[in-house]
């Protein structure tokens, strides 16, 4: 099964969540950043509000209580983890799960001087860290992704 989500680079150092929403929605990162980034960073809206505004159906997870927050369904998972680039900060990325593999869509990938998360060790080890220690925040189904209105 081929990945449905196209990777995008975050337009600024703090727009990882807006970029993740853009990737899943099939919209340009700059568009979602203009629409939502400031409100998100001021705490006026959260990931759920962002997805609702764009009409993206999702399943939300409470990592403190939900044992079902595993990456075991085909679709897109919004995840957060400690930032590799901002001390004490958090970073958002999307993991698209297909029938055969995981695709880690880190908005820092390709950004000069930025470290990123990835699955396998290898030639990129100097630029990032193997994926671990993430929290699953929300899931968007494969069915919605393949029929999404944008892209």
Residue 150 or 28, more confident = 28
pLDDT value for 81: 83
pLDDT, the chain, mean: 84
pLDDT tens track for 86-125: 777 788 999 999 988 888 898 987 777 776 766 654 454 4
Q: Which phi and psi (to 5°) does residue 137 adopt?
A: -105, -40
- Report the range of poorest mean pLDDT among 10-19, 20-29, 48-57, 103-112: 103-112
User: Is residue 125 classed as helix, strand or coil in its secondary structure?
Assistant: helix
Record the pTM: 0.87
What gap in Å lies between CA 149 and CA 25, rounded to an integer?
8
pLDDT value for 39: 97
Could you tell me the end-to-end alpha-carbon distance of the chain, in angstroms, rounded to an integer? 18
């Amino acid at each position: 099964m081929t990945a449905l989500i196209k990777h995008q680079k975050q337009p600024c150092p703090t727009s990882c969540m807006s970029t993740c929403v853009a990737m899943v929605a099939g919209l340009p990162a700059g568009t979602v950043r203009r629409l939502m980034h400031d409100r998100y960073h001021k705490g006026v809206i959260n990931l759920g509000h962002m997805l609702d505004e764009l009409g993206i159906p999702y399943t939300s997870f409470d990592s403190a209580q939900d044992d079902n927050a595993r990456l075991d369904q085909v679709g897109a998972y919004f995840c957060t983890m400690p930032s590799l680039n901002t001390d004490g900060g958090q970073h958002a990325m999307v993991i698209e799960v297909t029938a055969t593999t995981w695709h880690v869509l880190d908005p820092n990938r390709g950004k000069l001087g930025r470290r990123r998360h990835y699955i396998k060790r290898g030639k990129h080890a100097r630029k990032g860290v193997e994926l671990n220690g993430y929290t699953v925040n929300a899931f968007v189904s494969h069915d919605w992704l393949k029929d999404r209105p944008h892209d």
